[in-house]
Amino acid sequence: MKAIDSLSAFHQWSIDDREGFWGEQASLIHWHKPFTKVLDYSKPPFARWFVGGETNLCYNCIDRHLATQADKPALIHVSSETNSERILSFRELHKEVMRMAAIMQQLGVGRGDRVLLYMPMIPEAAIAMYACARIGAIHSVVFGGFAALSLASRIDDASPKLIISADAGSRGGKVVPYKPALDEAIERSEHKPTHVLMVDRKLAEFTRIEGRDVDYAAMRLKHINAEVPVTWLESNEVSYTLYTSGTTGKPKGVQRDVGGYAVALAASMKYIYCGKAGETYFSSSDIGWVVGHSYIIYGPLLAGMATLMYEGLPICPDAGILWQLVERFKVTVMFSAPTAIRVLKKQDPAWLTKYDTSSLRALFLAGEPLDEPTAKWISEGLGRPIIDNYWQTETGWPILTVAHGVEKTPSKFGSPGMPMYGYDVRLLDIETGEEVGTNQKGVVAIVPPLPPGCLQTVWGDDKRFVSTYFSSVPGKLVYSTFDWGIRDEEGYTFILGRTDDVINVAGHRLGTREIEESVSSHPAVAECAVVGVADQLKGQVAIAFAVLKDTAKGESRAEREALEKEMLALVDKQLGAVARPARVYIITALPKTRSGKVLRRSIQALCEGRDLGDLTTIEDPQVLRQIEAAMRP
């Protein structure tokens, strides 16, 4: 491996000699068959990595460690919701994955078939993801907080042969049934899965659909001695799809490959997270999000680490639970979200020092911008290095951070860091496409080819991949992150917010269009606008503004409150509580340009108490004053 101890030189090598750089990183994983070409970029902006090579994510995560650490922990599951704990060694996890793989095969699942997971944070969810990888099936995990309408749209897009689910999850001690939402979603969807495999946790009663629903426990016993060989996949075959919100109502299926993803994650574990075999990695995310895929399921085990999977809140049973887990399992690398830290900030700071966290080399935070006060608070209270990182569902691993596995570059509070190896990051003027200068605002863009691990395309829609990500900066074929940024004199980049209508609520990316469509489906609503508004705890929250068909209906406070309650309940039912606006304001009109475009930026500025800017294009400036009045207590 080429010896370079400067992050800037390491980064430059990855840009100047992409094939040489990534060809060396490819040695971090096992290849059943060597690749014949590192990069095929003959059809920009589509990149194919490690062409002709055959490998398997499950084999790299589990099988290859059996010779050296079969009896060491691989999957540690802790639920503060059910007061349960389960630790599986690499050997035990290997057996469970083969049992799940055999079940899938009996249910007709094979290479290239889709398996949709709608599951809580339980071991069977991880086992199912590894089993899909083992047999070459494509998994598509849907966050358990999504309601029937969101789930149905993802079922139709992924067209799964099999859905795996559970009777219920639990949050804050409250049981959250999954089966009713799943049944409704399947009823709504045009695509009908052949089977639904149910894990019964005994938390909620549910109705089984004869001939479709299958009991996991009974099937597991049937395949208790299963031996399922690995299906070797060409590097560019699809490993999974994961849906992310866009500016249109239809979610985008981010499509990931096998070989490029494995190499990218293995490299990130070495250079960014500095994880070592035999240690424990703890990501407090959810498998429904990309962090859960990359750094609960795959990344840690690729590095031979144990992964700690946690079902529960950061303050239940108390505000010390995360640090208690660090002490108990000697966690060396931890990954969480700024929102979780802001929640803990409201608790007694003594919880930060009650447990021995000396095993922890660093706490990584991502999912939303990390504000400087929160970063300082946790850094001083925990006494451990705090490393911010910035990336997206689409990229699969960090775009901006510091890589202590290359050079001990200091963090700078308020900035996620510097461009990572493989990413040719530019800050561009969104009007001209030209690069901006130091401390000038530009859209954060990446010059293709995108490095290994990033999305190959949008599932089933190559045109949308190009039009969404590579067509927004004039005159340049560049990938747009749709985030504003500035870069200081030392090369640190600061993220300033979105350029589009996607908002970030506690690390969850939500398309405002989906929420608008849900609120607008209320029979009393004529039109609606949703904006993301800065929030000290969650980063952003959604605020909805609804215009009624019959304005007389919202004249009294009681009427407005009743309507708001109904609209919020509608969003809950259709999209899930994760998408629920913080408020719905009943107004008489939306501010629009003379051509009819809704001025969401002006509404957002009004909500945040900022300067409204140039209002010469607005048809009726008085509308903004009416909105301001509606927002007064």
Helix (H) or strand (E) holding 627: helix 622-631
In a domain, 380, yes or no: no
Sequence-distant (6+) residues with CB within 8 A of 538 are: 339, 342, 505, 506
Domain-ending residue, one of 459, 481, 498? 498
In Å, how far are 402, 403, 406, 429 from 419, measured between CA atoms? Answer: 8, 10, 13, 18
Q: From CA 25, how far away is CA 189, in angstroms rounded?
A: 42
Q: How many CB atoms lie within 10 A of CB 611?
A: 6
Considering only CA atoms, which of 476, 76, 25, 572 is closest in space to residue 283?
76
In terms of residue numbers, what domain contains 621? 502-631
Q: What share of the chain is helix, strand, coil (3-state, %, to 5)?
A: 35, 25, 40
In a domain, 343, yes or no: no
Q: Positive or negative, the Cα torsion across 299, 302, 303, 305?
A: positive
Give yes or no for a cis peptide into 45 (omega within 30° of 0).
yes
Residue 224 structure tokens: 């208790």
| Cβ pair 281, 299 in contact under 8 A | yes
Residue 410 and residue 289 in one domain? yes
Residue 586 and residue 455 in one domain? no
| Cβ pair 195, 165 in contact under 8 A | no
| Cβ pair 430, 499 in contact under 8 A | yes
pLDDT digits (tens, 9 = 90+) for 326-380: 999 999 999 998 878 888 988 888 999 999 999 999 999 998 778 787 888 899 9
Q: From CA 93, how far away is CA 520, in angstroms rounded?
A: 47
Residue 463 CA, chain-centre distance (Å), reads: 23
Residue 508 and residue 489 in one domain? no
Residue 454 and residue 421 in one domain? no
In a domain, 66, yes or no: yes
Phi, psi of 83 (to 5 degrees): 50, 45
Instruction: Tally the domains of the chain.
Output: 3
Give the model's pLDDT for residue 146.
Answer: 84
CATH code at position 200: 3.40.50.12780
In a domain, 506, yes or no: yes
Q: From CA 28, how far away is CA 269, in angstroms rounded?
A: 10
Give the model's pLDDT for residue 394.
Answer: 96
46-51 and 362-365: which strand pairing?
unpaired
In a domain, 339, yes or no: no
Give the model's pLDDT for residue 510.
Answer: 76
Residue 466 and residue 581 in one domain? no
Give the model's pLDDT for residue 513.
Answer: 72
Residue 152 and residue 194 in one domain? yes
Residue 453 and residue 587 in one domain? no
Residue type for 572, please? D
In a domain, 374, yes or no: no
Sequence-distant (6+) residues with CB within 8 A of 104 are: 115, 131, 132, 135, 137, 162
Q: Positive or negative, the Cα torsion across 182, 183, 189, 194?
A: positive
Residue 54 structure tokens: 């055959």
Residue 433 and residue 447 in one domain? no
Residue 462 and residue 513 in one domain? no
Give the model's pLDDT for residue 59.
Answer: 98
Segments of the chain scoring below 50 in pLDDT: none
CATH code at position 626: 3.30.300.30
Residue 564 structure tokens: 């708001």
Sequence-distant (6+) residues with CB within 8 A of 440 are: 427, 486
| Cβ pair 476, 484 in contact under 8 A | no
Give the model's pLDDT for residue 632.
Answer: 81
Residue 433 and residue 456 in one domain? no
Residue 93 and residue 167 in one domain? yes
Q: Tokens 């009991």: give the residue.
A: 215
Domain-ending residue, one of 421, 442, 463? 442
| Cβ pair 500, 483 in contact under 8 A | no
In a domain, 332, yes or no: no
pLDDT digits (tens, 9 = 90+) for 269-297: 999 999 999 999 999 999 999 999 999 99
Residue 516 structure tokens: 């608008």
Sequence-distant (6+) residues with CB within 8 A of 350 are: none
Sequence-distant (6+) residues with CB within 8 A of 54 are: 31, 32, 33, 232, 233, 234, 235
In a domain, 326, yes or no: no
DSSP codes of every residue in 568-602: HHHHHHHT-GGG--SEEEEES---BBTTS-B-HHH
| Per-residue burial over 144-173, b = 16 or more CB atoms within 10 Å of its CB, e = otherwise | bbbbbbbbbbbbebbbbbbbbbbbbbbbee
Residue 483 and residue 529 in one domain? no
Considering only CA atoms, which of 434, 423, 428, 501 is closest in space to residue 468?
501
Task: Give the three-state DSSP class for 514.
Answer: helix
Task: Give the three-state DSSP class for 72.
Answer: coil
Give the model's pLDDT for residue 615.
Answer: 59
